[in-house]
Amino acid sequence: MSTTQFDVIIIGGGPGGYVAAIRAGQLGLKVAVVEAAQLGGICLNWGCIPTKALLRASEINHLLHNLGEFGFAADNVRFDFARVIKRSRNVAAQLSAGVAHLLKKHKVTVINGFGRLAGTAGGQRKVSVSVDGKETATLTAPNVVVATGARARVLPGLEPDGKLVWSYREAMVPGELPRSLLVIGSGAIGVEFASFYRNMGAEVTIVEVADRILPVEDAEISAFARKALEKQGMKILTGAKLGAIRKGDNAVTIDVTVGGKVQQVMVERVISAVGIVGNVENIGLEGTGIEVDRTHIKVDPYCRTGEKGVYAIGDIAGAPWLAHKASHEGVMVAEQIAGRTVHPIHPLNIPGCTYCRPQVASVGMTEEKAKAAGHKLRIGRFPFIGNGKAIAMGEPEGMVKTIFDDATGELLGAHMVGAEVTEMIQGYVIARTGELTDAELKETIFPHPTISETMHEAVLAAYDGALHI
Amino acid sequence: MSINILMPALSPTMKEGKLARWVKAEGEAIAAGDVIAEIETDKATMEVEAVDEGVLGRILIPEGTEGIAVNTPIGILVAEGESVPDTAVSAPATPAAAPAPVATAAPAAASAAPAPQAAPAGTGKRVFASPLARRIAAGKGIDLSTLKGSGPNGRIVRRDVEQAASAPQAPAPAPKPATPAVAPVEAGAGYESVPHSTMRKVIARRLTEAKTTVPHFYVEMDVQLDALMALRRQLNAASPAEGPGAYKISVNDMLVKAAALTLRRVPKVNVAYSDDATLVYDDVDISVAVSIPDGLITPIVRRADTKGLRQISTEIRDLATRARAGKLKPEEFQGGTFSISNMGMYGVKAFSAILNPPQAGILAIAAGERRPVVKGDEITIATVMTVTLSVDHRVVDGALAAEWVSAFRNVVENPMSLVV
């Protein structure tokens, strides 16, 4: 190693860490990224990106089986599951290589190994790097960004075994398509895998302990999504408790209690998607001023920890566990270290997206939360069936819901379900970030014909009434 | 054919005005040159003269209407016997082709505070605030210009307004005195709300701007008047008793001339400050503050240093009379290089005047009174007045101001230079 002295050392090369590194490099800082696995982190290698490749394949499969609607006919439609999986891996590999290139372009030093805070020396923070438990380097810098991310939470009795019980990782590289699948947990990860496998042809059951799927979404949207998924043949059990688990050779039987009644669910595979835990172990937090609260590092609105010069970003720094939140925090911290004026993240301005079919996207408060916060609400709804483009696309299933504060016209929340909504939610995110009110949204001209017109209509519906319904 | 009478532009910068009065009634015959209406801006009242003859067919905009954009049809002129359209006729190809009445700067009204210079367009800096912040501020009655923004590039966002709203009584530290603090009226205090006249608004705006943006500096001096008053008696005694040649020169007339001569002697006070340079005026034009019923105005004695006392006296009397009648032309009160404000007639002991930007000096003249003065080792009685020169310290330093006041005293106490 030629040099070990940096302006900032970033532990973890995921969407938080590598983006922080690029930004710090842009701002002229000397940057090191310590990554124990792959650049791009879970998001790029085992999360957001490869699942999108899989979901795209399953969407094509769905279309191929519904060609008649568009006047096509095809016989003997089939797929090579291994090639579907391979494509997903290739996409991840391509992007990971892209990250390496970007870091090189911004003169970021990438160090392979496991990074750990190792005290201070002469006002500098030390980070030790080890490979296979053997220390390979000690780096120093006045600033350290902890971006070690998170991993899947494991339920006792449902530890991933590589065969019958999968975590997201096994679910992404299955040897073959299981005939039946139980997905435990109906957050974004669970629902996306459920949607992929269902659209590829598997029998899918979702169990969720809460009383509805996608529990962080607005209740109305969550009910809409449930109906749509059930229409596709998915079985959904909410308010469900897991009981005894019996593993067979190529099958798992699980007792599920719903409303006091026990039913046995027998499936070939189980995906456990019950949340995440932060990677706080063995990274040198012990004995420092850095506080850990249930596997997450406590930070202030500027991502500062209890130790001066140590920042934490992304999943390790708490909810929401979203790549774009991590990246934004990475930029904010890099700019902070470079002496720029930065603005804390407003949690209600972070959009959330779930790429099941139909897609779900939202920003801001749900109706329930907005009510609880004491707002007098104005709510607008608009269904995709009133939108020309949606009908032309053969995607008439969807809706947009807007929630405004009656007193100020603030867009408190926006919730969407339907085709392409993950691409459209940014319109409402801009409105929230720019603190636009109903007045500006009403005045905005939406292009015709687009599905985005439903966003405008949902605003109008909250006030004087939508035009096309 | 019918012709639209258009709202005239009284100045190149005028965008809108008030239709103060219709002089002619619907159906009344109009000859070219007749005054048909009066238009009021923040600076002046002007008469609209007809260019064509005909009949005032229809009044489209009733008198008293404010904020009429230039070139809006205000009435319709028709030929004798012609039927009258209800609405403005479709505009001819170019407004110039329509012989619409032109406004001549007829003697007309009213305006501005000691400084009716071209009013600066729009006071106050642009406030960058999110729409939501604006809406919440409006709802809570918070002045955004008093807030400091915490958003991108200092933009005022919701949080800033909410913080200001929740801060009990503690006004956010204003980065600059954007608006004068308004003393809230005690709850229950009885009062009558008198809406501001246009002139009152101009006075308020211009004086606030002058006092808050120009660093004032004051120099005060006692000046003996006996010699000047003796000269005045001699001059007035020489006037014919009556007839066109009769005159009566006032002390004020002589002080205007004295100030003008002093500015010639100390020309560095006959200046204006601009961001890039000090503008040294060629002429000496004295603005004379005149109190009028609803405010004050400063008609100008142009090139006062070159005019005789008799002419200055005649001009000031004429200007003051027409100022009180609200009939000054804009060029008669806009401009000037130095101001004089005389409150001697009220027995005022001394006062300091607010500058009239971009002028750099204003002389406040108090009452002449008999006071004991020390001459040599004797205490004698002399007529003494206290004058206070306010200067713009950006361009006139203290020593220069003192030099000017001293020179002024010299002129007044040795007044023969006023007549030679």
DSSP B163: H
Q: Which residues of B303-322 are buried (b: 16+ CB within 10 A; e: fewer)?
A: ebbebebbebbebbeebbeb
Q: Which two tokens mark A165?
A: 């019980």
Rounded CA-CA distance B234/B394 in Å is 42
Specify the long-range contacts of residues B345-349, CB closer than 8 Å, at least 24 apart: B349/B386
Q: Which helix (H) or strand (E) holds A247?
A: strand A240-247
DSSP A437: B
Rounded CA-CA distance A379/A374 in Å is 15
Amino acid letter, residue B104: T
CB-based burial of residue B104 (10 Å sphere; 0-12 exposed, 13-18 middle, 19+ buried)?
Answer: middle
Residue A416 covered by a domain: yes
B 335-394: CB under 8 A from A: none
Beta pairing partners, A338: none
Residues of chain B with CATH 2.40.50.100: 3-104
- Helix pair angle (A81-105, A48-64), 10° resolution: 140
Q: Which helix (H) or strand (E) holds B33?
A: none
Same domain, yes or no, for A118 and A137? Answer: yes
Rounded CA-CA distance B389/B396 in Å is 11
Q: Which two tokens mark B208?
A: 């606030």
Strand B45-49 to B68-69 pairing: unpaired
Q: The domain B3-104 is classified under which CATH number: 2.40.50.100, 3.30.750.24, 3.90.1150.10, 3.30.365.10? A: 2.40.50.100
Q: At residue B173, does pLDDT exceed 60?
A: no
The answer to which of A31-40, A389-398, B332-341 has the lowest mean pLDDT is B332-341
Percent of chain B with pLDDT over 90: 36
Residue A141 covered by a domain: yes
- Answer yes or no: are the C-beta atoms of A45 and A35 closer than 8 Å: no
- 3-state helix/strand/coil string of B314-355: HHHHHHHHHHHCCCCCHHHHCCCCEEEEECHHHCCCCCCCCC
- Answer yes or no: are the C-beta atoms of B205 and B197 closer than 8 Å: no
Residue A157 covered by a domain: no
Same domain, yes or no, for A243 and A281? Answer: no
Rounded CA-CA distance B50/B61 in Å is 17
The residue among A347, A378, A394 that closes a domain is A347
Same domain, yes or no, for A20 and A124? Answer: yes
Q: Do A435 and B150 touch (CB under 8 A)?
A: no
- DSSP letters for B191-226: ----PPPHHHHHHHHHHHHHHHHS-EEEEEEEEE-H
- Answer yes or no: are the C-beta atoms of B103 and B48 closer than 8 Å: yes
Task: Compute chain A's Rg from CA coordinates.
Answer: 24
Rounded CA-CA distance A133/A266 in Å is 42
| Shortest Cα–Cα distance, B146 to chain A (Å) | 20
Q: At residue B121, does pLDDT exceed 60?
A: no
Residue among A100, A267, A125 at smallest CA distance from A184: A267
Locate the chain A residue with the closest alpha carbon to B137.
A408
Place of tokens 């130790």: A307
Same domain, yes or no, for A235 and A342? Answer: no
DSSP A123: T
Locate the chain A residue with the closest alpha carbon to B154.
A341
Q: At residue B171, does pLDDT exceed 80?
A: no
Most confidently modeled of B47-51, B168-172, B234-238?
A: B234-238
Same domain, yes or no, for A94 and A180? Answer: no
Question: Which residues neighbour B194 within 8 Å (Cβ) at sequence distance 6 or greater?
Answer: none
Percent of chain A with pLDDT over 70: 99
Rounded CA-CA distance A387/A469 in Å is 9
Question: Which residues neighbour A392 within 8 Å (Cβ) at sequence distance 6 or greater?
Answer: A449
Q: Which residue among B135, B151, B157 sits closest to A437, beta carbon to beta carbon?
A: B135
More confident residue, A390 or B275: A390
| Shortest Cα–Cα distance, B145 to chain A (Å) | 18
Q: Taking residues A153-158, report their average pLDDT.
A: 91
The residue among A274, A293, A320 that closes a domain is A274
Q: Do B132 and A410 touch (CB under 8 A)?
A: yes
Q: Do A407 and B152 touch (CB under 8 A)?
A: no
Question: Which residues neighbour B187 within 8 Å (Cβ) at sequence distance 6 or greater?
Answer: none
**Domain of A444: which CATH number?**
3.30.390.30
Q: Do A435 and B131 touch (CB under 8 A)?
A: yes
Q: DSSP alpha helices (H): ranges in A135-218?
A: 168-172, 188-200
Q: Do A409 and B151 touch (CB under 8 A)?
A: no
Instruction: Place B12 in a pLDDT band, splitting at 50, 70 and 90.
Output: low
Same domain, yes or no, for A269 and A283? Answer: no
Distances (CA, A) of B324 to A1, B104, B312: 90, 20, 18
| Shortest Cα–Cα distance, B162 to chain A (Å) | 12
Q: DSSP alpha helices (H): ranges in A318-362?
A: 323-337
Question: Which residues neighbour A76 within 8 Å (Cβ) at sequence distance 6 or greater?
Answer: none
Q: Taking residues B219-244, report their average pLDDT.
A: 90
CB-based burial of residue A133 (10 Å sphere; 0-12 exposed, 13-18 middle, 19+ buried)?
Answer: exposed
Same domain, yes or no, for A437 and A405? Answer: yes
Instruction: Place B24 in a pLDDT band, splitting at 50, 70 and 90.
Output: confident
Helices first, then strands: H and E counts in chain A: 13, 25
A-B CB pairs within 8 A amount to: 29
| Shortest Cα–Cα distance, A410 to chain B (Å) | 6
Q: Does domain B201-418 have CATH number 2.70.70.10?
A: no
Choose, out of B135, B144, B150, B158, the residue to mutate when testing the contact with A (most A CBs < 10 Å).
B135
Q: Do B135 and A434 touch (CB under 8 A)?
A: no
Residues of chain B with CATH 4.10.320.10: 125-177
| Shortest Cα–Cα distance, B90 to chain A (Å) | 31
Instruction: Place B37 in a pLDDT band, splitting at 50, 70 and 90.
Output: confident
Rounded CA-CA distance A128/A284 in Å is 9
The answer to which of A172-181, B77-86, B318-327 has the lowest mean pLDDT is B77-86
Locate the chain A residue with the closest alpha carbon to B136.
A408
Amino acid letter, residue B125: K
Q: Do A343 and B151 touch (CB under 8 A)?
A: yes
Answer whether B148 touches A (CB < 8 Å): no
End-to-end CA distance of chain B: 62
Same domain, yes or no, for A200 and A226? Answer: yes
Cα of B217 vs its chain's centroid, Å: 21
- Supply the range of the domain harboring residue A283: 8-151+277-347
Helix (H, G, I), strand (E, B) or coil at B401: helix
Q: Taking residues A265-270, report their average pLDDT.
A: 97
- Answer yes or no: are the C-beta atoms of B17 and B39 closer than 8 Å: yes
More confident residue, A153 or B56: A153
Rounded CA-CA distance B290/A175 in Å is 98
Residue B185 has a pLDDT of 54
Cis bond upstream, residue A449 (ω within 30): yes
Q: At residue B255, does pLDDT exceed 90?
A: yes
Answer whether B154 touches A (CB < 8 Å): no
Q: Which of A415, A448, A456, A468 is catalytic?
A: A448
Chain A contacts of B158, Cβ < 8 Å?
410, 435
- Helix pair angle (B398-413, B226-237), 10° resolution: 50
Locate the chain A residue with the closest alpha carbon to B158.
A435
Rounded CA-CA distance A24/B2 in Å is 73
Chain B contacts of A430, Cβ < 8 Å?
none
Q: Which two tokens mark A305?
A: 């920890």
Locate the chain B residue with the closest alpha carbon to A412.
B132
Q: Which two tokens mark B6?
A: 């258009």
Residue among B216, B348, B338, B223 at smallest CA distance from B289: B338
Q: Which residues of A334-346 are buried (b: 16+ CB within 10 A; e: fewer)?
A: bbbbbeeebeeee
Residue A349 has a pLDDT of 97
Rounded CA-CA distance B340/B359 in Å is 11
Rounded CA-CA distance B367/A58 in Å is 97
Question: What is the residue-averaged pLDDT of chain A?
Answer: 96
**Domain of A235: which CATH number?**
3.50.50.60
Same domain, yes or no, for A239 and A296? Answer: no
Instruction: Place B112 in a pLDDT band, splitting at 50, 70 and 90.
Output: very low
Rounded CA-CA distance A335/A103 in Å is 17
Instruction: Place A232 in a pLDDT band, splitting at 50, 70 and 90.
Output: very high
Distances (CA, A) of B286 to A222, B114, B283, B316, B357: 79, 12, 10, 11, 13
Q: At residue B109, does pLDDT exceed 70?
A: no
Instruction: Place B32 in a pLDDT band, splitting at 50, 70 and 90.
Output: confident
Residue B188 has a pLDDT of 55
Backbone angles phi, psi at A149, to 5 degrees: 75, -155
The residue among A274, A304, A335 that closes a domain is A274
What does the pLDDT look like over A14-35, one tens digit per residue?
999 999 999 999 999 999 999 9
Same domain, yes or no, for A22 and A147? Answer: yes
Backbone angles phi, psi at B333, to 5 degrees: -130, 0
Residue B330 has a pLDDT of 79
Residue A281 covered by a domain: yes
Residue A111 covered by a domain: yes
Q: At residue B13, does pLDDT exceed 80?
A: no
Q: What number of other Cβ atoms are within 10 A of residue B5's Cβ?
A: 28
Cα of B390 vs its chain's centroid, Å: 17
Residue B240 has a pLDDT of 85
Q: Taking residues B251-279, report their average pLDDT.
A: 92
∠ CA A29-A307-A330, nearest 5°, is 40
Q: Which two tokens mark B336?
A: 């000037």
Q: What is the CATH number of domain B125-177?
A: 4.10.320.10
Residue A176 covered by a domain: yes
Rounded CA-CA distance A240/A407 in Å is 40
Chain B contacts of A407, Cβ < 8 Å?
139
Rounded CA-CA distance B139/B135 in Å is 6
Q: At residue A264, does pLDDT exceed 80?
A: yes
Beta pairing partners, B49: B35, B102
Question: Which residues neighbour B83 within 8 Å (Cβ) at sequence distance 6 or greater?
Answer: none
Q: Total domain count for chain A? A: 3
Residue B80 has a pLDDT of 77
Residue among A41, A3, A37 at smallest CA distance from A19: A41
Residue B1 has a pLDDT of 64
Rounded CA-CA distance A45/A38 in Å is 7
A448 is catalytic: yes
Same domain, yes or no, for A115 and A186? Answer: no
What does the pLDDT look like over B382-396, one tens digit per residue?
999 999 999 999 999
Instruction: Place B197 in a pLDDT band, splitting at 50, 70 and 90.
Output: confident
What does the pLDDT look like over A60-69, one tens digit per residue?
999 999 999 9
Residue A158 covered by a domain: no
| Shortest Cα–Cα distance, B136 to chain A (Å) | 6
Q: At residue A240, does pLDDT exceed 90?
A: yes
Q: Taking residues B312-335, report their average pLDDT.
A: 86
Q: Do B135 and A409 touch (CB under 8 A)?
A: yes
Place of tokens 């995921």: A14
Q: Taking residues B348-371, report their average pLDDT.
A: 92
Place of tokens 């923040």: B42
Same domain, yes or no, for A131 and A199? Answer: no
Residue A353 covered by a domain: no
Q: Which helix (H) or strand (E) holds B46?
A: strand B45-49
Chain B contacts of A348, Cβ < 8 Å?
none
What does the pLDDT look like over A378-423, one tens digit per residue?
999 999 999 999 999 999 999 999 999 999 999 999 999 999 999 9
Q: Taking residues B114-133, report their average pLDDT.
A: 62
Q: Do A435 and B130 touch (CB under 8 A)?
A: yes
